[in-house]
Amino acid sequence: MEVKIGVQHAPREIVLESGQTAEEVEQAVADALAGKAQLLSLSDDKGRRVLVPADRVAYVEIGEPATRRVGFGAV
Average pLDDT for the chain: 88
Distance CA 61, CA 75 (A): 28
Query: Domains of the chain (ranges plus CATH)?
Result: 2-62 (2.30.30)
- Average confidence (pLDDT) over 18-42: 92
pTM of the model: 0.79
Higher pLDDT, 44 or 68: 44
- pLDDT of 55 > 60? The answer is yes
User: Is 6 within 8 Å of 57 (Cβ atoms)?
Assistant: yes
Average pLDDT for 39-51: 92
The burial class, CB within 10 Å (0-12 / 13-18 / 19+), for 48 is: exposed
